[in-house]
Amino acid sequence: MLAGSDDLVVAGYNDAIPCGELIVIRAGKILREFAEDDSDPDEEVLNRGHAPEEEGPEPLSSWIDVARFVDDDKHLLPGRGLFWLLGKAK
């Protein structure tokens, strides 16, 4: 298991495609999973669970909400981070 018994938040987006993904794991349990990818709708996972980090009672509804979540994160340093380009093997 990726996170084991630890907490893990994986979040990212690409406004050129457009797509966004958020996974929240607490104590080894997936609390939230959301993925929207306009280029590959078969891989989308919309509104499964709810994370405490989501503001208000409404869950994420689009990749734009994921982008806002990432951009508003106070733990990230502006202009710094990792860019991972993931794709399917052919």
- Alpha-carbon distance of 41 to 49, in angstroms, equals 19
pLDDT for the residue numbered 60: 81
| Residue-level pLDDT, tens digit, the chain, 90 residues | 566 777 888 888 988 888 999 988 888 888 889 999 888 888 777 778 877 766 666 678 889 988 988 888 776 655 555 666 666 555
Q: Report the 10 Å Cβ neighbour count for 83.
A: 6
* pTM metric for this prediction: 0.71
- Return the sign of the alpha-carbon dihedral for residues 69, 71, 77, 79: positive
pLDDT for the residue numbered 20: 92
Q: Where are the domains of the chain?
A: 8-71
**Helix count and strand count (H, E) for the chain:** 1, 4
